[in-house]
């Protein structure tokens, strides 16, 4: 099940403007209604606070392990997106953060969910 | 025929900024003039109101059934687009909502119709 | 329902080697099990017999009307493909004919069915 | 020759924000200098005025016939683009309208002409 | 764990030449060495024996359930491919059958495994 | 109207194996039934006879002018393809020659016609 | 060598907003350091002043001849871009003008140079 | 190891607005944790100060040699990006400068890092 | 330097026809003439001998380490390709094996080298 | 002018089957009729004779210089292709050799010329 404790962070190595984007194309969870697996891509984009004011960045391997913890979880698209946004903001308190999930089609409809935290610039939304 | 009663909604699961996009690539209706089938893609993008103030989101499977209800309806491109926009806004009263329909070419011309409700950010329009 | 009588043909206008390919990207029928619509592309490739020996070619508009007659028919992928192959060979008795159907994905699996009549060259199969 | 009288319109079916885009990929006219045929794509995008204030939208088939009337006309790229913009604005008096023509290359150079009418939003230009 | 009993078949509905291809883009299993999830696409192509001589075709939904049974199995690429080939040939005894697996990259290397049964035509291999 | 006299040829400049392919993406003619313009791509591929035995190749600019002579001709897909094949073989008597026409879609169906002369290698057909 | 005198202009045929884009994909010059040929694409975009206030547009064929005059010139990327910008603004005095050059890679690095004149809207830059 | 002394500059050849973009698709360094090589694309975009006020531009071949000096350096994604940004701004003191690094996937996640200096226009970020 | 001893193998897990393809897109070595790094993709395709007759397959991670051993080696394209072919055939004695290297362009020319061992089917070459 | 003396060769470093492909995407010559520049891609594919029987391979940089010697030569497509084939076969006496030239479009027609020497396998032609 989704496990916040898997997430680790490191201090932001600069005070200059800096945007990090991680794209995980191999995300999978389970539909709570049908029990069928869902597949999608999870994109996380954020601008960390500077290291001198305590800013941190999520560590890449820990993010991978955290995302894998959804593998056998029964959870809806919206809840996945909100959970990742909430957990990462709890970890990093970034200047802004955007989580975008792109789901493979089901029944001829494919969905994209975007959930922001902080003041996400319009061009990223 | 298009059937509003097929639409169902669930309460928005968060108060944070949140955008949902559904892309239905297997839409078909019938041209009222020629009786020939039309094919297109229907994209719905919206920002729901937060759950604590009564905001709701359209349920995915109900959206699929609703879109299928146009299958044998004789109806023009513009009317399809406006009908979906009106029905979904009636259901959700979203902060903003955009319906975009991309139609397969007819006679060497293909068309795209965009109909907004509420204050659609320029980047989506 | 699929209606053979909609098909029309015209005499092959030459005795020289000649291959015709029609690609209909807007095919739809209905799954007999779930009642859900299926969408796909139907490709027909054939080499007609020469006009002097009575060879004929399917007329394009009649092919369109024939394919539209499957619109509300409950029928499986394989049966669609075999029906089109059989009806077109009944009509044309072509030197060889190949019907290929490419279906939009269902449940994460998409299918392609190829059904031949006569001696289809390997490169087309 | 280009024939304004071929254009027909119908009343805008809504007062809500509404953008229509027609893309005609099979446009051809003739170069007045060389007599050689030119080929291109004509895109028309506009926001009609609402039907209650007399707003109208160009009818799709009449647009096709109008564009075909340039087939054997000797006319430059810029004149084609301006003529279509002027004729469609005369017909519709849209809130804004953009005509874009994309021409196949000649002598290693391909051209795109954009002509606006009314207050075209920057994102469309 | 991979479960042969999930597979079902139906009698081949024709005696004519006939090739079926199923492409499952959402396959996942687990690396037995690292415990990390593997993701890939499984393609199955076969020519069934005719129905009159007892030929059968794998049923699509049962194939989906069968492929899902690998989800939490620790198993190598080659073993996945051979297992599917063996199970499907046990089920169908097809004239020929090809299983192809395309795996997402690991450590900068991506792999494709092809395993045939019967006399697979060269063009498919 | 199609004008054979526009075609010119030049002696094949070598006796070695040699294949020439010309792709004309801006072909247009008129449908004899509806009067609507048709658009397509015409591809001509051939192996000329060697110059010492009187072999010739079609001259490029003359081919362009010849193809333009179909611009306002009412003629079916098959007849266009056969006419070009016959005229070019009359001109060149090539070892083999293939004419392929790819037509823009009409009514949701697009067509490809291939007409050969001489012993066209299978890989080109 | 680059020859300004090759450029010709014609009066802008309208007072309405109007943007012209020319894309020349077959540009070549020579590196002054190594003597090796450089290859790239030159894009010119501008909004001309209206014809009634003396506005002019560069004539297409003269632009082609002008660009060809760089063929054997030893000149750096930046100088090419600035020279074209300066020459075209000298010719047209456009409201704004952007010259963009996209160069084929050298030593694993490819470059894009953008040089503006007048008040280039941000979306073009 | 990364070697600032390899960088060379030349005076900006103009005072007009001017943007330079260099894309190096063959960047490689080494992960300091695993010792495994990392591969990516480094894009540098900047607007130099004018030559009359002492503005300079990085010389292309020196940039190549500088980027190659990371080849056997154990260094994280973020540090690579910040180092290049800092070194290039030290060299050029550009009006603004953006360094973007796109890394090949590792463990199913690929990353993009953007680091700006000066007032980077939003459209580039 | 290239190190054969890094290669490991495992017994072929089947006697059935079986083809394995590994694509390593992050290969780099050094040009012995210029000292500049070369980048390319190495593809290895082979049909192993069956396990019962002593057939083996190269182990994936050992292949990665082996390919990395070329990183700082000064070696030509042809020598890289032949060395990999020879080393892998020494290891596996496969029924047939093909090594293909696709190199990034140098001086406007990109190269592909294919080296086979055993009786490589034509379709792979 | 085309200069055979620029070509250099090195002994084939192996006796094993071996195919080399060089793709030069930046070829330019001049049309002898119009004086306009032509642009194209030249692809050379060959199987050299083994080094022990005196086989040689064309050296890459010398091939580049040789191709550049056509830069200001007035020469037709067919003559370019034949000249390169003849010069390279004179140099290498390869088992087989194929020269393919792909030309940018002129007047709406683009051409591909293939000229072989020796026994070119069908799949390459």
Could you tell me the domains of chain C?
A: 4-118 (3.30.1130.10)
pLDDT one-digit tens code per residue, H1-10 = 899 999 999 9
> For residue F125, what pLDDT band results from cuts at 50, 70 and 90?
confident
Look at residue G106 in the predicted model and tell me its pLDDT: 84
What is the arithmetic mean of pLDDT over I100-113? 94
CB contact (8 A) between residue C14 and residue F116: no
Higher pLDDT, residue H48 or G124:
H48
Select the residue of B16, B20, B64 nearest A117 (Cβ to Cβ). Answer: B16
pLDDT one-digit tens code per residue, G82-103 = 999 999 999 999 999 999 999 9
Which of B25, B31, B34, B39 is most worth mutating to test chain C (most C CB atoms within 10 A of its CB)?
Answer: B39
pLDDT higher than 90, residue D107: no
Q: Is C61 on the interface with A (CB under 8 A)?
A: no
Which has the minimum average pLDDT: F24-28, G77-81, G104-108, J57-61? Answer: G104-108
pLDDT higher than 80, residue G122: no
CB contact (8 A) between residue J105 and residue D107: no
Among B56, B123, B42, smallest CA distance to B95 is for B56
Among C53, C61, C42, C43, smallest CA distance to C93 is for C53
How far, in Å, CA of E117 to CA of E101, rounded?
15
pLDDT higher than 80, residue B82: yes
What is the arithmetic mean of pLDDT over I27-43? 96
In which residue are the tokens 């086989």 written? Answer: J55
Nearest C-alpha in D relative to B96: D17
Residues in I touching G108 (Cβ below 8 Å): 37, 39, 104
How far CA J88 is from CA of F20, H51, I111, J5, in Å, comes to: 20, 49, 16, 11
Which has the minimum average pLDDT: C84-88, H67-71, I106-110, J94-98? Answer: I106-110
Which residues partner with I43 through β-bridges?
I23, I100
Look at residue E47 in the predicted model and tell me its pLDDT: 96
Mean pLDDT rounded to a whole number for chain H:
94
> For residue G67, what pLDDT band results from cuts at 50, 70 and 90?
very high
What is the arithmetic mean of pLDDT over D67-75? 97
What is the arithmetic mean of pLDDT over A86-93? 97
> For residue B125, what pLDDT band results from cuts at 50, 70 and 90?
confident
How far, in Å, CA of B17 to CA of A115, rounded?
6
pLDDT higher than 90, residue J111: yes
> For residue C125, what pLDDT band results from cuts at 50, 70 and 90?
confident
> What pTM value is reported for the model?
0.95
Which has the minimum average pLDDT: B103-107, H46-50, I29-33, J73-77? Answer: B103-107
DSSP code per residue over F68-105: HTTTT-B--HHHHHHHHHHHHHHHH--SEEEEEEEEPP
Counting Cα atoms < 13 Å in the Cβ hemisphere of E90 gives 11
Select the residue of I25, I28, I36 nearest H28 (Cβ to Cβ). Answer: I28
State percent of chain D over pLDDT 70. 100
How far, in Å, CA of G97 to CA of H17, rounded?
11
pLDDT higher than 90, residue D125: no
> For residue C101, what pLDDT band results from cuts at 50, 70 and 90?
very high
Look at residue F67 in the predicted model and tell me its pLDDT: 98
pLDDT higher than 80, residue D35: yes
Look at residue B85 in the predicted model and tell me its pLDDT: 97
State percent of chain H over pLDDT 70. 100
Give SS3 for B92. Answer: helix
pLDDT one-digit tens code per residue, H73-105 = 999 999 999 999 999 999 999 999 999 999 998
Look at residue E121 in the predicted model and tell me its pLDDT: 86
pLDDT higher than 80, residue H71: yes
Residues in C touching A108 (Cβ below 8 Å): 37, 39, 104
CA distance G55 to chain H (A): 22
pLDDT higher than 90, residue B1: no
Mean pLDDT rounded to a whole number for chain A:
94
What is the arithmetic mean of pLDDT over H58-69? 97
State percent of chain E over pLDDT 90. 84
How far CA H19 is from CA of D1, G78, H10, in Å, comes to: 45, 10, 15
pLDDT higher than 90, residue A112: yes
Look at residue J124 in the predicted model and tell me its pLDDT: 75
Q: What is the ipTM of this complex?
A: 0.93
Mean pLDDT rounded to a whole number for chain B:
94
Higher pLDDT, residue F94 or F119:
F94
Look at residue I65 in the predicted model and tell me its pLDDT: 97
Mean pLDDT rounded to a whole number for chain D:
94
How far, in Å, CA of E121 to CA of E21, rounded?
14
């Amino acid at each position: 099940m989704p496990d916040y404790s898997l997430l680790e962070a490191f201090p932001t190595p600069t005070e200059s403007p800096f945007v990090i984007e991680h794209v995980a194309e191999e995300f999978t969870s389970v539909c709570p209604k049908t029990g069928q697996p869902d597949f999608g891509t999870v994109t996380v984009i954020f601008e960390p606070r500077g290291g001198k004011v305590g800013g941190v960045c999520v560590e890449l391997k820990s993010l991978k392990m955290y995302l894998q913890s959804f593998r056998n979880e029964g959870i809806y698209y919206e809840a996945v997106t909100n959970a990742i946004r909430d957990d990462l903001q709890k970890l990093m308190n970034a200047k802004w953060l955007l989580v975008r999930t792109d789901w493979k089609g089901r029944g001829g409809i494919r969905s994209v969910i975007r959930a922001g935290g902080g003041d996400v610039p319009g061009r990223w939304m």
